[in-house]
Chains A and B, each alone.
Chain A
Amino acid sequence: DIQMTQSPSSLSASLGDSVTITCRASQDIRTFLNWYQQKPGKPPNLLIYDASTLQSGVPSRFSGGGSGAHFTLSISSLQPEDFATYYCQQSHSTPRTFGQGTKLEI
Chain B
Amino acid sequence: EVQLLQSGAEVKKPGTAVKISCKVSGSKFNTYINWIQQAPGKGLEWMGLVDPEDGEAEYAEKFLDRVTITADTSTDTAYLELSGLKSEDTAVYYCALEIFGSGSIVTNWFDPWGQGTLVTVSS
Which residues of A are at the interface with B, using a C-beta cutoff of 8 A? Answer: 1, 30-32, 34, 36, 38, 43-46, 49-50, 55, 87, 89, 91, 94-101
Contact = CB atoms under 8 A, between A and B. Distances in A.
A35 B8 CA distance: 27
Given A38-B44, A50-B107, A95-B46, 5 more contacts: A1-B61, A30-B105, A43-B114, A44-B44, A49-B101
Contact of A87 (B43, B107, B108): B43
A54 to B, nearest CB: 12
19 contacts: A32-B108, A34-B110, A36-B110, A43-B115, A44-B113, A45-B113, A46-B112, A49-B107, A50-B101, A50-B107, A50-B109, A87-B43, A89-B44, A89-B109, A95-B60, A96-B49, A98-B44, A98-B46, A101-B44
A89 to B, nearest CB: 7
Interface size class of B (residues with CB under 8 A): 20 to 34
Interface of B (DSSP majority class): strand
Contacts of B116: 43
Interface of B: 34, 36, 43-46, 49, 58, 60-61, 94, 96, 98, 101, 103, 105, 107-116
B72 to A, nearest CB: 22
Nearest to A85: B43
B110 A101 contact: no
Contacts of A1: 61
A44 B110 CA distance: 9
Given A43-B94, A87-B44, A101-B43, A95 B61 contact: yes
A91 B97 CA distance: 13
A99 B46 CA distance: 11
